[in-house]
Amino acid sequence: MSDTPAGSLYVVATPIGNLDDLSPRAVRVLGEVALVAAEDTRHSGRLLRHLGLSRPMLSLHEHNEASRVDTLDARLLAGDDVALVSDAGTPLISDPGFVLVRELRARGRRIVPLPGPCALVAALSAAGLPTDRFLFQGFLPARAGPRRTRLEALASREETLVFYESPHRIRDTLADLDTVLEARRVVLARELTKAFETFLDGTAAELLTCMEADPDQARGEFVVMVAGAPARGEAEQSAVEADALLSALLAEGVGVKQAAAVSARLMGGVKKVWYARAQALKDGH
């Protein structure tokens, strides 16, 4: 058995857009390790060249991760330090690396995190939604049926919900949010740290309207954040207050459509939801 101390696996967060966000510590480690395990060696190779670095690289992605464990473990046992990077942000957060880290930790290897850019944390920090508790769900299912089923399962959760979404599915996801979660507040963080970084805030229906008016708002990578369900007591109180307002308006002879519009303006939410409730009250249901 070799007396050479085993090397360390450094889990290195890399920029999600702005290259200035790479920490000096990350630059130093990337320049010192014997090997960089990268989700896409071409992409990460460009980052290294930008930094003036040249290191041996090995691809590690979702399709080959399990088969790379023994290879990388052998390098660590030989005393080599290895850096793990994904295409952008923090490895393992909706990116490859979980299998590798789990297996190496089980074998007693040293795993060292290098904190840095992470899209979900950056988005939450500027969204204005509660962050004391949040539930990160990564990417929602690509197909409509499973996506709605997942959203329905999350509908009663009181934490802020956080998802990643791609530009070619963002409209479909917003449509499903409108169907399943109705009048919840949604904040979209688009193109974080890049030139066209944008935060959009409103109901899912309002954000869809915004994208129809300006198709550029549907471009880029998204972090989707949704307000959690109100606590049970708060929801019951809100329902009582809503019914009281609608009943008062209807009693004064205000039409169902106008009552819904006034209520939405005063208390927030989507007019069609208010309209349905006002109609039910008028019909005596």
Domain housing 246: 232-282
168: CATH: 3.30.950.10
pLDDT exceeds cutoff 50 at 46: yes
17: CATH: 3.40.1010.10
What is the pLDDT confidence band of residue 117, given thresholds at 50, 70 and 90?
Answer: very high
Residue with tokens 């996801």: 173
CA angle 26, 27, 32 (to 5 degrees): 95
As beta bridge partners, residue 35 has 82
- Residue 113's region, left for phi above 0, alpha for psi from -120 to 50, else beta, is beta
pLDDT exceeds cutoff 60 at 27: yes
Burial of 119 (0-12, 13-18, 19+ CB in 10 A): buried
pTM higher than 0.85: no
Mean pLDDT, the chain, whole residue set: 93
Q: What is the rounded radius of gyration, in angstroms, for the C-alpha atoms of the chain? A: 24
pLDDT exceeds cutoff 80 at 114: yes
Counting the structural domains of the chain, the total is: 3
Examine residue 59 and state whether it is found in any structural domain, yes or no: yes
How much is the pLDDT for 270?
65
Per-residue pLDDT, averaged over 196-210, amounts to 96
Of residues 245 and 18, which shows the higher confidence score? 18
CA angle 270, 275, 280 (to 5 degrees): 135
> Of 117, 133, 150, which marks where a domain is finished?
117
Euclidean distance between CA atoms 268 and 185, whole angstroms: 10
Per-residue pLDDT, averaged over 23-39, amounts to 98
How much is the pLDDT for 1?
47
Spell 204-219 as b/e; 16+ CB within 10 A means b: bbbbbebbeeeeebbb
Q: Which two tokens stand for residue 147?
A: 């996506």
111 shares its domain with 134:
no
Examine residue 196 and state whether it is found in any structural domain, yes or no: yes
pLDDT exceeds cutoff 80 at 271: no
53 shares its domain with 108:
yes
User: In the chain, where do the E strands start and end?
Assistant: 8-12, 35-38, 57-59, 82-85, 110-114, 134-139, 160-165, 186-190, 198-202, 222-226
48-88 per-position pLDDT tens digit: 999 999 999 999 999 999 999 999 999 999 999 999 999 99
Closest of 134, 35, 30, 26 to residue 75, by C-alpha = 35
Comparing 225-229, 269-273, 277-281, the range with the smallest average pLDDT is 269-273
Please state the length of the chain: 285
What is the pLDDT confidence band of residue 107, given thresholds at 50, 70 and 90?
Answer: very high
125-135 per-position pLDDT tens digit: 999 999 999 99
Per-residue pLDDT, averaged over 201-226, amounts to 96
What is the pLDDT confidence band of residue 237, given thresholds at 50, 70 and 90?
Answer: low
Examine residue 3 and state whether it is found in any structural domain, yes or no: no
Closest of 146, 202, 133 to residue 174, by C-alpha = 202
> Of 226, 252, 274, which marks where a domain is finished?
226
